[in-house]
Amino acid sequence: MIALLRALPFLLLAPFALAFVASSWLGILRGRWELLSFDPWRIHDAYFRIGSLSAVLYDQNGHRPVIPGLLYKLDLHCFGATNLFLVVIGLASITAGLAVASWLVWQDREIARRSRAAAIGFLWIAVFWLGNNRNLVHGNEVPFVGLPVLLIAVAGCGLHRIVRPAPEGRAGPAWGPIAATAGACWAASFCHGVGLGLSLAVVVAALILRAPRRAIIALSGSAAATFAIYFFVLPRALGERLPPNQPSFAMPGLLWNALNWLGAPIVHTIAMPGEVHPWSPEDQRSSAIALGAVTASIALGMLVISALRPRRASPCEPWALLCVLIGGGMALQVAILRQQHLELWPQIFHAGHYLIWICLLWSGLFALAAGRLGLPHSTPRVHAKLWIHGALALLLGCAFVPTQLRAPATFQHFKVRILEASLGVALDVEDPVERKTILFHDLELIRRVAAHLRSQELAMFRWPESKLIGSRIEEQSDIAAPEPLHGRVDAVEPIASQSSRGARFHGWAIPRTPSRSAVRVLAVAPSGIVAGAARFTRPHPKLAAAHRFPDQDALIGFRGYIKDYDPALDYRFFVVLEGESIPVEIRAPARPRAP
């Protein structure tokens, strides 16, 4: 009975971690953002303007995503700029990085098996927590962070080979591990700004672990060369940047900002980004600072212990130290460089795209703590420590559950809004509010990028709807008498825009035969010319149930746009059914008033 109680947290943690990660993968694959949104518009604008492959060398808002840039180019020219390729590469990199880190932890025989399992379980839970929203579903961000996660694990593996005792007859570590570690740092530096932190973190970790002198000199030289190339050799920024970073070292503001950043996950365990948070901004900040203070204290304690303890060949300690050092370095970097941004956007310290680095820091602390607990055959006190370690991993995992359950709906909401706003781009109807909110704030930049995408039939311009505007419906098929079809257009709303006249419309349609799904809706002017289109993007469970449609999660709600809208005309609306050449007319709303 006592043995069962001792093992209970670990027995519960294993299936919990498996179910947690499985739910994350399902939520990511169903809710991934399929088209350009936010930063990719700016990045692709720079790439289109330069045209050549050298575009990937430019500074992009403080980062030099050379390697992700090559992937963007590949996605652009080979996969139609759909982001699927980027998401797959990014998620595969994260998974491979966690697999390498898990292997390092499991190889540490001086850690109790139960503690190794707890550290590994918490690592997978923390990194694949759906609170790391943009890092997991945004095609632009996934390779940005996925590749560094993998390279941190590779650097940790190489650093372990460097610091472990050399075989008899060899004066020091082989140059292979040193080259592999330096190469991982170099590659990470040209994936994301955090990669520069990895170069420094490797040198600091090598000093803490008392690595051989020649290894420290080689890694330091490699870091210096990387910094020189990054800041002085490669071309400077191209295109729009955030307001320039003005470093601020003022205390105690720097300290509070760093702690506020470190404690950000506690804010996202209560509500997803974009949701109305039940806590006031002051409560969010104070709770984040409190958790950040606890995290920083534990991290400093672990670093001091690692520096003072006798040198040993721990497989997981180098990787764990890198995670802690990178997380701490990111906290200081954000606090120093983002002070002005905080004044413009107070929520920036709790931004979802930062959380994965804090989760890696926590995972590193869990692995370091596991190495300090001792083996289970020691004393009852050690058994108690092991139990607390496992229970804490399970408890923190449970704290992530509320966000985990709500995240898929949030992902789907943003995915639908991106699809609907992208349809406006495809139809050349400018909806300023929607574009600025969900695509990018610079409308002129969107127009430039859209012109390039249209000329090459990429992204949203691969959709059939983008080619239907201006065609005559008789060219598609003859209009036949409508067959029984449930549905209507609920509203047509004119859009006020300086560059174009348009309108948005929305409604729903349910085929009487479930096997014949609706594909799109066409808005047709009295002359018979197709003036607009809509895609089915939203479910309506209540309407589906009311009309006894078997699949209540089916996408029966549509939203679309009419180009060059004239409120004096009586538009007709037709539903195109899958496999049918004859569209079916649905009821239109009363003619709206002009804005």
Task: With beta carbons less than 8 A apart as the criterion, state whether 115 and 377 touch.
Answer: no
Angle between helical axes of 355-370 and 84-106 (0-180°, round to 10): 10
Least confident of 93-97, 176-180, 191-195, 480-484: 480-484
Token digits for 278? 């039940």
Q: What is the longest distance spanned by two Cα atoms in the chain? A: 91
Q: Is 586 helix (H, G, I), strand (E, B) or coil?
A: strand
Q: Which residues contact 368 (CB under 8 A, 6 or more apart)?
A: 302, 306, 317, 320, 321, 324
Write the pLDDT tens digit of every residue in 334-343. 777 766 666 6
Beta strand segments in 101-140, E: none
Give the global pTM. Answer: 0.88
- Rounded to whole angstroms, how far apart are CA atoms 120 and 153? 13
Tokens for 56?
């990937």
Residue 454 scores a pLDDT above 80? yes
Instruction: Return d(Cα 16, Cα 71) in angstroms, integer.
Output: 34
- The SS3 of residue 271 is coil
Phi, psi of 587 (to 5 degrees): -70, 135
Q: If phi over 0 gives left and psi between -120 and 50 gives alpha, with beta otherwise, what is residue 32?
A: beta
User: Which tens digits make up the pLDDT trace of 460-497?
Assistant: 888 888 888 888 775 444 444 445 578 888 889 888 77
Residue 347 has pLDDT above 70, yes or no: no
Cβ-contact 265, 358 below 8 angstroms: yes
Kindly report the number of other CB atoms within 10 A of residue 497's CB atom: 15
Quote the CA–CA distance of 87 and 139 in Å, as a whole number: 5
Cα 64 to Cα 11: distance, rounded to the nearest angstrom: 44
Give the separation between CA 70 and CA 41, rounded to whole angstroms.
Answer: 16
- pLDDT at residue 274 tops 70: no
- pLDDT of 395-438, one tens digit each? 888 888 888 888 888 888 888 898 899 999 999 888 888 888 88
